[in-house]
Structure 1
């Protein structure tokens, strides 16, 4: 399977580390804001990261890079035979991921796209494109990171023990040593704070983000987030979205998680018993591991669907990921 990565910030670079030991997937294409790189025989992770960090774009990679202000469009046109792309892109503004999906449709590209989108409203924008995606021959897997994604899928599986779901509560802890490695992700989290929204967070300078983090001692405490786990579980017929809550703590100065990430699914069994399943992620698994691993698992599943002629929009709560060897 020949795969590409769109976005080469912290998440995109981490994705290359996840792919490095895999035998079933070959990383051949990548794009950032200023350029792209493509090699049909595979890209070298260390060289790509070095060039990106030193010069600010994969477009400077010799001999496989190209500088471009239309990097996604030119890469898609240039990179023949890519089976699927992981969209490791910041969804800022909130319509950005839908605009990228539309770009692939308009280019006449056929294959698999996977995102790790967060917001409910962003998934709703993608739902408006589901017929067009199907007609275009694109299999689009949405919400395939950690949450939404891994934890949403766990909730869908755990729900099978019950005849009625009363609540799904997702609590996450994220620890990163340096917020600047995940600038876009942190801005997306800030957008969930009281008094902030997507546009305000997007417009913040690095200095303004740093000032906010200084005020909070590097911690972002997030409650009742607009997280697409709710619409994904609703679409899967598991429970109404108002029964799903998501919140957590992000420590931007410490790689150790401030709390364990878990999902609790409470419901009533056919015997009339009220019970709760809890699925807890290991504290030593990083945000990147819990996002990128599932993303490529869903990319593999999407490629299998695509080969069977199954196109359109799917979520992590509907399809089981396939382990990438």
Structure 2
């Protein structure tokens, strides 16, 4: 039978842990509400902007040369990997890192890859393993702001435009709901628009001052918005994963406490029974003498 003192210490320890996990769940829930509100407001704008851009460029056929849509032989790659700054969020970080490693070992095996980690966990993982990384932006999730995301987008866009990168891809968790986050691999550059194919556009747009001017101004905006949306998706997914993980940890601590309290009561009852038996045995011995 377990020692009463040891069991009591374990009960105290598990109770403290349960209080911490419950508090972390509440904090994650508060942050999730804000992050979820931001991404739900961003999605319609991003989707509509992308839809308009695709329609306009596709409708123009080969009349416009969009530098960010140029298809080139993939010799150099920029891989943007989004994780969190902290742990205790289940498989959120490991799933994103596994997806990135799979790309490195398979799809981009023959290319010169630069990792752009967003989040300390990605930075720590890839820096410790000797990958070529850009560590200028990994602390972005401390306070997500559009201006910082815009700088990252400009870095990728300028690198692609200058020929430094032939391909830019993003790995992040897409927020579906509190309990579900989908690991997503998304092509950032070249854009997923083929300007050489002309198709019928269901919506007729009147563009001023010209189609070329509007598209050249719209493309960079759409790319920055695409990256910002991915960052917001990852941020909301992190808080959702942490809230779910801490909720499960709190439940597990409660179950463990029930088992420990039962064990404590059994141990105490066994100790009392042993004491009674010892007293009875001593009394019988005295009577015999």
**Under a length normalisation based on structure 2, what TM-score does the superposition of the two structures give?**
0.25
By percentage of residues, which structure has more strand? 1
Pick the structure with greater CA Rg: 2
By percentage of residues, which structure has more helix? 2
Higher relative contact order (CA 8 A, sep 6+): 2
**Under a length normalisation based on structure 1, what TM-score does the superposition of the two structures give?**
0.23
